[in-house]
Chain A
Amino acid sequence: MGEIHLTGHPASPGLAIGPVAVLTSAVASRAMRGDPAQEATALKAAIEGAAVELAELIATVHGEAAEILEFQVAMLGDDALAEGAYEAVAAGTAADEAWRAALDEEIAGYRAADEEYFRARAADLVDIRDRVLAGLNGADAIAKISGDSVVMGDEISPSTFLAVDWTRGGAIALAAGSPSSHVAMLARSRGAPMVVGLGPLPWNGQPPSLALVDGDTGTVIIDPKPETRRLFEHRMAAANAARIAADAGRLKPALTADGRRIAVLLNVAAPEDLAGLDPAICDGIGLVRTEFLFEGSRGLPGEDAQYAVYRRILEWAAGRPVTIRTLDAGGDKPIAGLTIDGERNPFLGLRGIRLSLARPEVFRVQLRALCRAAVHGTLKVMLPMIAIPAELDRANAMLDAEFAALKADGIACARPPLGIMVEVPAAALCAEDFGAAFYSIGSNDLTQYTMAAARDIGAVADLNDAGHPAVLALIARTVEAGRKRGVEVSLCGDAAADTRLTNALLARGLTALSVSPIAVARLKATIAGVTV
């Protein structure tokens, strides 16, 4: 097979070279096939093996990821799942064919469901199906994907992703997929290059042996010529050297080439993200997402539980400012017991601050926990999805009331300043009208609402461009409003970590960018090359 160039969408930056591991279990078919009794035994062993693999995987993850896997274990442990397969095996069908047919029927049932929640579970059944098939086929078993491989396939499930040790230099190249999928987010946070939307993978039967993945441009080269490979390795070496240089500059403050100081802040999804991190790499925390507190089966978190987590984060920051966002549920972040199920268009529905104001009994608990935590550092609180000033005013009044109530009870507390996220175009256009203590631009939602293109729909991914002049104009307008009102403006969406946009963002007058910890070194190095 000659060298083939494929073009898709970049989903996670970086370069990688490695042997190809194909995800579709259809590629490998079973070498041997026994009589019905042997086939039934093989199927039973594969199912039990899959359950053991899952149990091992559960031990390495926590929260939502663990619960997804626990559901899979429960399904695998239920004889009803394989009933049809065993009947077919008894009638002479091979174990893998029987299992695939039985699970495909089950999956079809889920895909036909009215409710999105049931349809979404089809992915778990596919995960279960393929894990058992991998065990039966004895090849390309999920757990056996080596961490230095280029994993190729139509899609990759979160459980497959989590089973691979990505510190060894591997990458992901998908025929389908989306830069906004859960796996793409995981890939970015673990530093694994990823390209999606490559289209049908161009081989029949015999997969390629080697692939080059360029997660910066969204290209993949399979079976490269020696010369192509040499050039790519050269680029990797240069990128590596740049990364090492950037890492060395990680602890230094970010300065542009013309000496302007830029604050580099961290985005944190859970306190575990801060484990092992030196606070000196950042100027503070620009975004603490609080959704993680509300996930899982434990129900809505109480005031003390929230307070303990917020306090831990503030203490880690050691006096640096920490901006905690109040619950941003709804849209693509449903939370059991809180968000509205079956909204026709959840991104335009009851999400973010709208939901918090609609459920004051939940919101109050969070505001109280925040007031109590505020005594342990420099806390700022921001409200997501603000569209009109009245929403901020109502939240301010509630915060005042909770602060006063805590004080009246003699409980240690402070009233944190309340700022807004600018992610609805209306808020960007009228930013000056808000009595906000600060503005934080949420570029992901601002982009999708401005371009009317969803983040998670591959077919319109090209339109979802944070660098579009319309989005940049809204950012500039927000910066200008902050300048006039004398309050700080920062940006905390994915655009902050996209170094192709750094120049454009700083040119719009932004002086604070908030990114995931892994992106800090690269961003600081990029800032050092910018002349505003």
Chain B
Amino acid sequence: MHDANANRAAQTFAPLTASAVLVNPVGLHARPSVKLTQCAKGFTAKIEIALAADGPWTDAKSPVKVMRVKAPQGATLHFRIAGPDGEAALAAMLALVHDGFGEA
């Protein structure tokens, strides 16, 4: 499972954090969730999202868990990313959110 790798990576790399406002009209629902998780799975870093800066944190590689967050439009999505490709992952995640998941 990807979690094992991500945990090991997290021990070596300091977590990067950033946040972005969800601009797409329906928030993080079905299509955006699938896009977010597909993008996240392209990186080895452990990638987590939350609706507050101090969590609770959710695995961004699980569509089931991301949907449980029910992040609405206008919500601030926080990222916590740790791993060798963490910076690239963070840039990709933020670009996806800024771009409204290609929907806006």
Contact = CB atoms under 8 A, between A and B. Distances in A.
B31 interface: yes
A336 B103 contact: yes
Nearest to B68: A109
Contacts of A337: 24-25, 100, 103-104
Contacts of B25: 334, 336-341
Interface in A299-322: 299
A118 B29 contact: yes
Nearest to B28: A118
B73 interface: yes
Contacts of A78: 37, 62-65
Interface string B39-77: 000000000000000000001001111011010110000
Contacts of A106: 64, 68
Given A79-B1, A337-B24, A338-B25, A114 B103 contact: no
B62 A117 contact: no
Interface residues of A, number: 31
B103 A341 contact: no
Contacts of A109: 68
Nearest to B58: A80
B93 interface: no
A75 B35 CA distance: 12
Contacts of A298: 102
A337 B32 CA distance: 12
A74 interface: yes
B34 interface: yes
Interface string A475-502: 0000000000000000000000000000
A297 B64 contact: no
Contacts of B38: 74
B63 A341 contact: no
B64 A81 contact: yes
A117 B63 contact: no
A466 B70 CA distance: 39
| Max count, chain B CB within 10 A of own CB: residue among A70, A78, A79, A340 | A78
Interface string B1-45: 100000000000000000000001111011101110110000000
A71 B62 contact: no
A70 B34 CA distance: 9
A341 B26 contact: yes
| Max count, chain B CB within 10 A of own CB: residue among A67, A117, A342 | A117
A124 interface: yes
B66 to A, nearest CB: 9
Interface of B: 1, 24-27, 29-31, 33-35, 37-38, 59, 62-65, 67-68, 70, 72-73, 100-104
